[in-house]
Homo-oligomer: A and B are copies of this chain.
Amino acid sequence: MSITIKDVARVANVAPSTVSRVIANSPRISDRTKEKVREAMKDLGYHPNFNARSLANKTTKTLGVIMPNSANKTFQNPFFPEVIRGISSKAHQLEYGLYLSTGQTEVEIFQEVQDMVQGRRVDGIILLYSRVNDKVMAYLNEQDFPFTVIGRPSDETNREITYVNNDNYKAAKTVTEYLLLLGHKRIAFIGGNLDFVVTVDHMEGYKTALINTGIEPREDYIVFHEELQEGGQEAVIDLMSLSERPTAMIVADDIMTFGVMRMLSEMEISVPNDISIISFNNVMISELSHPPMTTVDINIFGLGYEAANCLIEKIIHPEIEPKHVIIPHKMIKRQTCQRVSK
A interface vs B, CB < 8 Å?
2, 45-52, 54-55, 60, 62, 65, 70, 73, 75-78, 80-82, 84-85, 88-89, 91-92, 96-100, 102-104, 108, 114-115, 117-121, 228-229, 255, 258-259, 261-262, 265, 283-285, 287-290, 292
Contacts and interface: CB of A to CB of B under 8 A. Distances in A.
A269 to B, nearest CB: 13
Contacts of A92: 102-104, 108
A261 B114 CA distance: 47
Nearest to A90: B102
Contacts of A121: 50-51, 97
A76 B81 contact: yes
Nearest 4 Cβ contacts at the A-B interface: A47-B118, A258-B288, A50-B119, A88-B102
Number of copies: 2
A92 B67 CA distance: 14
Contacts of A2: 118, 120
Q: Is the interface of A mostly helix, strand, loop or mixed?
A: helix
A261 B284 contact: no
A52 B94 CA distance: 24
Contacts of A104: 88-89, 92
A52 B55 contact: yes
A4 to B, nearest CB: 11
Nearest to A122: B50
